[in-house]
Amino acid sequence: MNTAHFTLMVAAAASIAFPGARAATAPKSINEFCQANSNLDFPDRAFYRPHSKDGILPREVAAVGATNWRCSDGKVYVCAGGAAGSACKKMNPSREPSQAIRQTCKDDPGQDFVATAVIGNSSSTWRCQGPTAKIIATVPLDGRGFMVQTWAPLFDARGKINTGIELGADPR
């Protein structure tokens, strides 16, 4: 048997389904999924499997008007992205200005507010005191680096969808 025949046989054998094998099953709900995956910041691929389309939301998440979800301490948390799309992002907790912020203050000293496009995912807002960047305010982050004000638990203590959720906008 030559190498080409052997390779063809192995390829054919690999494509045969085995009667005892079962495909992995998705969890019945996102609540069960997060209980099994207690801290998962970006759960979409794991929940829907790697070949899913981006932008698909579980119906429970969409029902409350959220655009993002994640698992935190075994619970489902939801967020609405907001106009700038930054409300749901993981934030940088550093109290040191980024290179872009420093450059902005160097190029245009005295700005009362450095643009959100420049501060990116900084948890602080910045101004320029002369050419030096100074913090205006810093938003509180949870233990995983997300803004506390923009994420809320999807389910109440009884396991029902929290229909009274108020999803906050980016406070920066």
Nearest in space to 136 (alpha carbons), one of 84, 90, 91, 171: 171
The Cα 154–Cα 162 span in angstroms is 5
Banded pLDDT at 2 (limits 50, 70, 90): very low
Residue 121: DSSP 8-state: T
Q: Mean pLDDT throughout 79-107?
A: 91
Q: Mean pLDDT throughout 40-62?
A: 80
Find the Cα–Cα–Cα–Cα dihedral 125, 127, 133, 136, rounded to 10°: -50
Q: Mean pLDDT throughout 72-88?
A: 87
Residue 75 and residue 158 in one domain? yes
Which residues 6+ apart lie within 8 Å of 75 measured at CB? 34, 153, 154, 155
Which residues 6+ apart lie within 8 Å of 81 measured at CB? 67, 68, 87, 88
Residue 103 and residue 167 in one domain? no
Banded pLDDT at 131 (limits 50, 70, 90): very high
Residue 46 and residue 125 in one domain? no
The structural domain count of the chain equals: 2
Q: Mean pLDDT throughout 80-99?
A: 88
Residue 44 and residue 67 in one domain? yes
pLDDT at position 74 is: 94
Q: Mean pLDDT in the chain?
A: 81
Parent domain of 133? 99-138
* 44 vs 108, residue with greater confidence: 108
pLDDT at position 19 is: 36
Residue 19: phi and psi, rounded to 5, are -60, -35
Residue 172 and residue 158 in one domain? yes
Alpha helices per DSSP H over the chain: 3-14, 30-36, 44-48, 59-63, 99-107, 116-119
Q: Is 59 within a domain?
A: yes
90, two tokens: 């993981």
pLDDT at position 168 is: 75
Banded pLDDT at 27 (limits 50, 70, 90): low
